[in-house]
Structure 1
Amino acid sequence: MTLTADCSLETLLSYVAREDVRLSASGGALRYDAPARSAGPLLEAALRRHKPALLARLAAGTAEASREDADDAEDGVPADPEAADPEAADPEDAGTVEERAPATREQSGMVMRHEQTKEPQVWNVALRLRCEGPLDVPALRRALEKLVHRHHALRSRYAWEQAMASTGTGGTRSAAAEPSPGRKLWQEVLAPRPVSLPVEDLREVSPPERAERLEAACDRIAQTPFDVARSVQPRVKLFRTGDESRTLMFVLHHISCDGWSVSVLLKELGTLYGNEAGHLPLRPLPPPTSQCTDYARLQASSALPEEEHRRRVDFWADRLAGCRPDSGLPADRPRPAVLSGRGATAHAVVPAELFGALRDFARETGTTPYAVMLAVLVRLLHHLSGRGEAVLSTAYANRAHPSTDTLVTCTATIVILRLRTDGDETLSELCRQVTAGLAEGITNFIPYARIREGLSRHHGVELPSSIPLGATYQNSVDLSVDLPGVSTTVTDQTGLTARRDCSFSFLPCADGTAEIHTEFSTDLYEPATVEGWLAEYAGLAGAMLREARAVP
């Protein structure tokens, strides 16, 4: 029996029963939940055609309940955002699937890591925007809505090719279920829907309590995990802390963005807000250079030939033969069988004079500031572990194609570095090793999951599911946003989670300094231990630099 837009009610009911489409009513709107194979424009049209009859049957208790919204137009947004319910939940209802494409390698890996992590909120990317000035809240809501509507990655969900087993409480599919071999992950772009901006007014409480409540609320929003099978639409909430002081929480899932994407989003948010608030001249935004679905197709069309893939597997087998991929860092506690995901952060500042000297050294020796800072880190890891090598992962933006310029999705991936040291190398020698390792890793790049699988299958080498040590240099991240007429400061809302044993992030700052951010597992390390490492880093960098520049 084929479904058509003008089918009879009996045909539609038969289709609903056969395809496990769940129906429910909510405030006069008809909602449905359907397996991906069954959803689409024909089902939507048929449901709208027979909506009165279906609502009547639901009211009589003759259909099952579900969650999805089949009539977006009946969902409103608060007319006065400043009066919105402060505890209103984020609308993560799905709705109509607008486009469907295979998931990218990065998306597939992210979903698997999301499923396997005890604390999946570790994959949240939480930003706090502190706004001082006459903020136009309705204009901000409209700007956020247009931002979500512009980028497919901000209104997607992820579904396996075959429907997941029923939960027994409504039949909702879940990406948290373990996929069977051969299952394929799809990204489903949902049709644009209104974006609400809940507002909580904290002006009536005392300043100490206000600060405490704001911190707790921001942390709660940042630490709430996404259901990637339902929606990864960003969570937003605005807190009013003074007559012209507000804080916006803007939380994304890492599957939707990387550092490059965050910079794009903040820049566009400023432009969209200025346009919506009526600031002249208007600055129309061109369409994004591509969408996450376009990137998936580009990735599929440029897959490596089998012979080249095998050559790269052999390269990594040779590069990683006999390595010890555990961190080697002395832990304060015994390692549990599985890390909980609980973590903390530590921070240090590299003074402007020292960071400037490191950058000058990079320029003089034909390398990069990251290579110099990573070389210092390798020496520090040697001091701490006593080992003659360090194995770590480093982020690779993976944005060489021009279509990725304003693409919002996670293209960033990791390159594995195996760096050998006996503690006696000069800074120049370590920098050359780092630079060569990065260049060779990018030239022979294949995703880490494929390296693991290839080494296990063809070489009998077993690697952990993730490399315990990580390092990044965030020169592509611009945490600034220009909201006309409003002074805005953007900071990361760091959570109490850790994605690996320990990761080091280097961030050059506008004032000439550099910041070092360390995220570490509290299952293994005390904060004081990691803070001691960071304190040692600056002194070691200065000593290595003086040694490199000493006259023989």
Structure 2
Amino acid sequence: MTGDMRTDILSVQRFRHPGSVQECRLRLEEWAASRHIELAWNQEVTTWRIVGDFAPQMMAEAIKQTWQRHDALTATYHFGVFGESPGQLLRPDAPPEIRLSDVSSESDSAAAARALVQRHCLERRPLTAAPQMSAQVVRTSETEHLVSIRHPSMMMDHWGFDVFVRDLAVFYTNLTVGAGPRLDDCGRYTDYTDAEYEALRDGSWSDSVDFWLDNYRGESPIPGLPLTGWRGNSGGDRLAGGRTAGAFSPETVQELREAWRHGAARGITPYCFMLAVVLVLLHRLTGERDLGVLVPAANRDQWEYHDTVGLFATILAPRFRDLPDLSFDALCELVRDTLNDALAHQRVSYHDMQRRLTPEHYGRPLPTTTCYFDYWIQDESLPAFGTAQAEPFRVKLPPNEQEGLAFNLYDDRASAVSYSLSYSRRLFDEAGAQALTHDLEELAAAAARSPESAVASLTTLPSLRIPR
């Protein structure tokens, strides 16, 4: 490739949306690389155990066809080549690296396969290298295989991942069966980012920028929490993270479902209810009257991109004010109304407002503790590849970096509500994190039983473990 041709490709296919989640992550990656820090959160790994009649060569071809369908999957990422912004460079000339292995003749084929997959999951490659996507397919027996697919987390959001898995299953089934469902045309991710860049420049977002300025009332867009934590290592690595997970008791789930049934008539969704519980918990921990939380938004309001793989999602930072003056019911209504307003302006992300208002912190470790919240309707369905069925396969991965707290709730709409809490080890040790999730369940159950209770009274429950 000549120098002129390379320059032309870079100028056309650069990432063109300053203030996006992707650009902020690239800037943080650039910062970390300059300090020889390797960020674990930038890698996403999916692993399946596939049982039944399965063809590894056809899976390799299906991965390539899915990769060809979605331009975002061909991306590499570059720093310092576009002036002020990191860049995205598409590399359709560099197909995914796919390794096929057969350990079925080994005495302990299951252990050998796990070791291969584990090694693949822990591999790291520079974001500037092509290809970024890779896969390991291991045959353990005639009817069992392990499949591991690795890619940068910024390559696709959760919606995009679901699209990727669906398309992969369709391509594989069509290759092996010879006929199957057809995939509709979908928009190109680069077209979306170009349109976003033009909207950013031509003033289309001015109303949303004004909305967020009003929402912050002159404060920093970073929703900082004056949180010192409990039994954490305050002198340790500020990016070191831990994770704990569990499930609410059946009794708590039953109480929550009853409360959610009553709240539905007022538009109080389980998401709103549980975010309100998290706000009560944060109020107890900090004593603050006004709190901000980071929440995700899908940002897919254009139908032509519903079947496109890419990182469309944005992060929003709404503010919730005067918490101790409210009953829990009133807090749920405040959360409902605040989120509805925020989602109407989701195209302008928290990262974009940070870029505008506090550029010294943009794409750098944050100067204060933040809290992230999300609520998932758990979809237990797993892909079928032809007549073979995929099952989840767990591997050991290093914990992601954390600058604060990240609560994720998972609802199966039946008998279970589970959770995961990712936390900064500067704030909490493992016992402290488990005490925090205990308090979350205690507050959720109390609010479900007595939604008319004042927020201030809920924070004084004697069963709570972490002191105020």
**Is this a same-fold pair by TM over 0.5?**
yes
Q: Does 1:221 align with 2:120?
A: yes
Structure 2: how far apart are the matches of 1:442 and 1:231?
36
Equivalent residue letter for 2:133: P
Unaligned runs of 5+ in 2: 454-468
**What residue in structure 1 maps to residue 458 of structure 2?**
none
Q: State the Cα deviation string for residues 198-228 of structure 1 (Å, max 9, x = none).
A: 2344445666x944x6555544433333422
Q: 1:251 to 1:307 in 2, by over 3 A?
A: closer
Aligned partner (choices 341, 348, 371) of residue 469 of structure 1: 371
Query: What aligned pairs does 1:99-138 form with structure 2 within 5 A after superposition?
Result: 100-104=13-17, 105-117=20-32, 118-138=37-57
State the match for 2:60 in structure 1.
Answer: 141
| CA apart distance, 1:531 | 2.1
Work out the number of aligned pairs and report it. Answer: 437
- From 45, 68, 72, the equivalent of 1:153 is 72
Partner SS, residue 246 of structure 2: strand
Q: 1:72-83 counterparts in 2 under 5 A?
A: none
> Is 1:269 paired with 2:168?
yes
Look up the equivalent residue of 2:388 and give its one-letter code.
Answer: V
* Distance (whole Å) between structure 2 residues aligned to residue 154 and residue 261 of structure 1: 11
1:355 shift after superposition: 4.8
AA aligned opposite 1:547: S
Q: Which amino acid aligns with 1:121?
A: A
Matched AA of 1:326: L
- Give the one of 192, 195, 206 matched to 1:298: 195
User: In structure 2, the residue corresponding to 1:346 is in which secondary structure?
Assistant: strand
Q: Name the structure 1 match of 2:304.
A: 403
Instruction: Tell me how far apart the structure 2 counterparts of residues 146 and 237 of structure 1 sit (CA, whole Å).
Output: 16
Change (3 A) 1:396 1:144: same
Contact in 2 for aligned 1:501/1:520 (Cα 8 Å): yes
Per-residue displacement from partner, 1:180-208 (whole Å, max 9, x unpaired)? xx43444222225554532344445666x
Counterpart-to-counterpart distance in 2, 1:511 and 1:202:
40
Residue 411 of structure 2, aligned match among 508, 515, 518: 508
DSSP-derived class of the 2:294 partner: strand
Q: Deviations over 1:245-289 (max 9, x none)?
A: 22211122122100100111111111111111125x4222222x2
Provide the aligned C-alpha RMSD in A.
Answer: 3.5
Counterparts in 2 of 1:442 and 1:336: CA distance versus 1, 3 Å: farther
Q: Which of the two has higher C-alpha Rg?
A: 1
Q: State the shift of 1:420 in Å.
A: 4.0
Write out aligned runs for 1:93-492 (5 A): 100-104=13-17, 105-117=20-32, 118-159=37-78, 162=81, 182-203=83-104, 210-211=110-111, 217-231=116-130, 233-278=132-177, 281-287=179-185, 289-303=186-200, 305=203, 308=207, 311-312=210-211, 314-318=213-217, 320=219, 325-326=224-225, 328=227, 330-336=229-235, 339-349=238-248, 351=250, 353-420=254-321, 425-445=326-346, 446-456=348-358, 464=366, 468-475=370-377, 480-490=382-392
Q: Distance in 2 between matches of 1:484 and 1:225?
A: 31
Q: Which deviates more from structure 2 when the two are superposed, residues 361-370 or residues 487-496?
A: 487-496
Query: Does structure 2 retain, via aligned residues, the 8 Å contact 1:356–1:512?
Result: no
* SS of residue paired to 2:231: coil
With normalisation by structure 1, the TM-score equals: 0.70
Q: Which has the higher contact order (CA 8 A, sep 6+)?
A: 2
The 3 A distance-change label for structure 1 pair 369 and 133 is same
Structure 1 residue matching 2:224: 3-state secondary structure: coil
**1:127 aligned counterpart, secondary structure:** strand
Is the Cα–Cα contact under 8 Å of residues 269 and 481 in structure 1 kept in the other structure? no
DSSP-derived class of the 2:407 partner: strand
Match of 1:174? none
Specify the alignment match of 1:539 in structure 2: 442
The residue matched to 1:542 in structure 2 has which SS? helix
Task: Give me the whole-angstrom Cα distance separating, in 1, the residues matched to 2:170 and 2:11.
Answer: 26
**How far, CA to CA, are the matches of 1:488 and 1:323 in structure 2?**
41
CA apart distance, 1:354:
4.2
Q: Distance in 1 between matches of 2:220 and 2:239?
A: 29
